[in-house]
Amino acid sequence: MLGHLALSIVIFCLADLISPVLADVEAYYQSDNYENGEFGEWPQQTYHSSHIIGPVVDFLQRSNRCDDGQYTMLSLRGGQVPSPGPMILDAKGNLVWRAEDYVQPYGLSKYTYKGEDYLTFWAGNDAIGHGEGMYYMLDSSYEEAFTIGAANGLRGDLHEFHITHDETALVTIYEVVQANLTSMYGPVKGWIWDGVFQELNIETGEALFQWRASEHFDFTEGYVARVGSGSKDRPWDFFHINSVDKDSKGNYLISSRYMSCIAYIDGKTGDVIWKLGGKKNMFKDLSGGAATNIRWQHHARFADNGTAITLFDNASRGPADPEHISRGLYLDVDQEKMTVNVRHEYWNPHNLSSQSQGSLQLLDSGNILIGYGSNPAWTEFSVDGEVLCDVHFGPQLGFGTSEVTSYRVLKHSWVGFPKTDPDITLQGNTTYVSWNGATEVVTWVLEGADSKAADEDEYLTIDSRPKEGFETEIPIPPDNVHRFIRISALDAKGIALGSTLSVEWDPSQNITTNGLDIQVTNTKWLVFFSTAFSTTIFLVIAWWASMRLLDRFQRAKKQKKKVSRGGIEDFIANEEFIDEVEFSLLQNADFHYNIDTLNEPQ
């Protein structure tokens, strides 16, 4: 059995190793093969001129009404994503920029701070379902302009990094603190993950305001039973804060997933002014319950000068609960009369149920963009709910597995001027060029010179091609007489933005060159050597992996027997059975304490 397993692993790895380079694969359109997983659990492509791996998307619906000149921003991660990273795609689904130097990124967005545009995101350790990491702001050259941590000795969480109109930053934090859990049949001196947010001075890191949920919410308001023993190493996440916004009055709008409500917080005292949704909803619902029956929601934001609120209503939270269809909500809120009404609902045409994560954004075009979090998809709607573009960046076969995810999906305008040079590869008589993050390139110009040390004015134009996708292919014409080749980038006005390094071209040999690193390739010996070497390496890895899998299987069998014999106390103390989809939720409803349930949607 282990021999077959090892052989399978070797075959898989070798097939992946020798697979051809798929440069700039066009997006699919309503592809059954894509959605059935025949292109892999995460369809991807590699490039000749860059080591970067790019996604391949499938448009299930497409309209030029989505082509507003802005870029789609993802924070790609998951079990099937070998190198997680923030990334930017154009309107056709082509890769524009990707960073692979950050661990588990969340929430890629764009903000304007002191007149300059920045890409922003969180990166760090998300193994506990929330995060301990740092917030990053990259300038237009993709260099780190600001690296921000939470204040007061706390660690920044992944759920929110939002720059306000006051040019301050709102961040979320999860802190382990002691609490009396007797109201939840727990110990007097129990422990919780407290939901905290801070407003920070971006340049100094000073906390301008700090708020914590345990001082303002009762544990009994939650819809998730107490999980864990209440000890310090098994704290209970009772609140699960996942978004923060600030209005012109200086007050805050927060979202609590586990209390299924959003709350309005006084910016001076920290008092709760009102709650919308949840057990202590304070609003009269003029939509017959459709505005206040939110469940496990994300990404609450003020709109229309505080007279409206948008959010992503997950409606589901994990495999132990019914998979209700998720929706986007645009709510009219009257804070004087304390009424709320559904202005618009946004339903995915394929009835997606996203058990975790998700976003809703009002676009500059007036359209609505919804990202489906744990499901690798986004949909752009007209403001009144018409589906314009429906896009998958992972097959529908894998929906619900969280193997390919993006915490939020957002669209923004962006101009990138990387300080790196464009990348070039020469293969035989064909050149390939790309420039990670360069948004202003319109034309690539193939140039030639007769000397490695040629001056700028000695390079002559051989050919030119419009930029297409992430990587552009330019053949070398048969009548070319120049020994050294480079490619220059021009913008829409014909201004040169940068040039690749020179590569030496010799039409008499099978040459693959990157920059001035020339490799004369003997294909037969290269394939033989690389295959033999790779086989040896992967046989060793396969043997080691099979031993690990066998050991894990045996331990899992023992653990299964333990759970079948044990009671609730055994389960509570064992967090291997905590749901990983959205962080600290029990996988089996039979083990939940019977605290309360939500009413069925009306």
Say which amino acid occupies 275.
Answer: K
Q: Do domains 49-412 and 423-514 have the same CATH topology?
A: no
State the Cα–Cα distance between residues 387 and 404, nearest whole angstrom.
23
Q: Which residues contact residue 352 at a Cβ distance below 8 angstroms, ignoring those fewer than 6 apart? A: 325, 326, 372, 375, 377, 399
- Token pair for residue 388? 């314009």
- Map residue 473 onto helix, strand or coil: strand
What are the boundaries of each domain within the chain? 49-412, 423-514
3-state SS, 508-537, equals CCCEEEECCEEEECCHHHHHHHHHHHHHHH
* pLDDT given at position 577: 31
CB 408 within 8 A of CB 416: no
* Distances in whole angstroms, Cα of residue 83 to Cα of each of 42, 53, 80: 12, 8, 9
Q: Which residues contact residue 429 at a Cβ distance below 8 angstroms, ignoring those fewer than 6 apart? A: 475, 476, 478, 507
Q: Where are the alpha helices (DSSP H) in 233-377?
A: none
State the Cα–Cα distance between residues 18 and 41, nearest whole angstrom.
19
* pLDDT given at position 542: 53
**Residue in 234, 211, 224, 221 with CA at minimum distance from that of residue 151:** 211
3-state SS, 400-443, equals CCCCCEECCCEEECCCCCCCCCCEEEEECCEEEEECCCCCCCCE
* pLDDT given at position 25: 84
Pick the CATH number of 423-514 from 1.10.3470, 2.20.28, 1.10.510, 2.60.40: 2.60.40
* DSSP string across 24-90: TPPPEES-HHHHTTTT-SS-EE--SS----EE--EEEE--GGG-SS-EEEEEEESTT-SS-EEEEE-
- Token pair for residue 423? 């990348």
* pLDDT given at position 591: 28
Instruction: Say if residue 470 is exposed, middle or buried (CB neighbours under 10 Å; 0-12, 13-18, 19+).
Output: buried
Which position has the token pair 């859990």? 181
* pLDDT given at position 17: 41
State the Cα–Cα distance between residues 97 and 57, nearest whole angstrom.
15
State the Cα–Cα distance between residues 380 and 360, nearest whole angstrom.
10
State the Cα–Cα distance between residues 559 and 571, nearest whole angstrom.
11
* pLDDT given at position 552: 40
Across the chain, which has 602 residues, the per-10-residue mean pLDDT values are: 39 40 80 97 95 96 97 96 94 96 94 98 89 97 98 98 98 97 93 97 98 98 83 92 98 98 98 98 98 98 98 88 91 98 98 96 98 98 98 96 96 98 96 98 98 93 96 96 97 98 85 50 39 51 49 38 29 34 35 33 32
CATH 3.40.50.800, domain 49-412, yes or no? no
Q: What is the pTM of this model?
A: 0.84
* pLDDT given at position 514: 67
Which position has the token pair 């382990």? 176
* pLDDT given at position 39: 95
Other residues' Cβ atoms within 10 Å of the Cβ of residue 3:
10
**Residue in 99, 143, 107, 103 with CA at minimum distance from that of residue 126:** 103
- 349-360: b or e for each residue (b if 16 or more CB lie within 10 Å)? ebebbbbbbbbb
* pLDDT given at position 475: 97
